[in-house]
A and B are shown apart, each in its own frame.
Chain A
């Protein structure tokens, strides 16, 4: 599924990375634990998280995660946005909980990692 369609079905705001919104996400992982995110080796991976800090973006950069959905409208700082933009990453802000966000994406055919 394309990121722009994901943003649509989640009623999510695209905060940055407009050039990448036609990319396909095949897999999704939902976690606030960056230690765990760093153990995953899947391509075209999407992350749903409630943890909003610079390390969330850094972790995604190292893990080749190109899109992050921040659940419950977690605040995205300018510094996070800048780092995401430097790495051609899409950041989405969504008002739903991690549970609901995950449920919607799962129902729409995005694959789980485990």
Chain B
């Protein structure tokens, strides 16, 4: 099963609409609640990151019997030092993002915690690509 969605950068009112759709799809597929929560939290954090830090993005979701694979690809400033961005507390979020209740530098570590495999690729002034894999039978 494959789905594709678009994300508009800067538009906080839309943050979470894709995770919300995925949550409903996974519920219908009768996937275990613990797995659903992991997957939607990871995707929500990634959605918020595109909105907070990039210009626009695309989400591709691929569900098969073994795993859920999510690719989030954005056009944006990219991440200069991925290891540093992965550290808890590192954030370049603007005050606007902080007013929304985000920008504590906790998102990427939380995506890592809530995924079985996380792969981040980024090019400065081009964009960032996250691949999040969650296995269904573990």
Spell out A's residues near B (CB within 8 Å). 32-36, 38-39, 41, 51, 53-56, 58-59, 61-64
A55-B15, A58-B44 given; A34·B37 CB < 8 A: no
Residue of A with least CB distance to B100? A55
A38 and B13 within 8 A (CB): no
Q: Whole-angstrom distance from the CB of B64 to the nearest CB of chain A?
A: 23
Spell out B's residues near A (CB within 8 Å). 12-13, 15-16, 19-20, 23, 33, 37, 40-41, 44-45, 48, 100-107, 110, 113
A39-B110, A61-B23, A63-B41 given; A34·B102 CB < 8 A: yes
Q: How many A-B residue pairs have CB under 8 A?
A: 62
Residue of B with least CB distance to A53? B100
B41 and A56 within 8 A (CB): no
Q: Whole-angstrom distance from the CB of B46 to the nearest CB of chain A?
A: 12
B20, B23, B101, B106: residue with the most chain A Cβ atoms closer than 10 Å: B101
B41 and A55 within 8 A (CB): no
Pairs across A and B, CB under 8 Å, 25 listed:
A34-B101, A35-B103, A35-B105, A35-B106, A35-B110, A36-B104, A36-B106, A38-B41, A38-B44, A39-B110, A41-B37, A51-B101, A53-B101, A54-B12, A55-B12, A55-B15, A55-B100, A58-B19, A59-B16, A62-B20, A62-B37, A62-B40, A62-B41, A62-B44, A63-B41
With A32-B101, A36-B104 known, 9 other A-B pairs at CB within 8 A are A34-B101, A35-B101, A35-B107, A36-B106, A38-B45, A39-B110, A54-B13, A55-B101, A63-B41
Cβ of A32: which chain B residues have Cβ within 8 Å of it?
101
Q: Whole-angstrom distance from the CB of A46 to the nearest CB of chain B?
A: 16
6 pairs of A and B residues whose beta carbons are closest in the complex = A58-B16, A34-B101, A35-B104, A35-B106, A62-B44, A51-B101
* A96 vs B66: C-alpha distance when bound (angstroms): 48
* CB-contact partner of B23 in A51, A59, A62, under 8 A: A62
Cβ of B101: which chain A residues have Cβ within 8 Å of it?
32-35, 51, 53, 55-56, 59
* A9 vs B28: C-alpha distance when bound (angstroms): 37
B19 and A35 within 8 A (CB): no
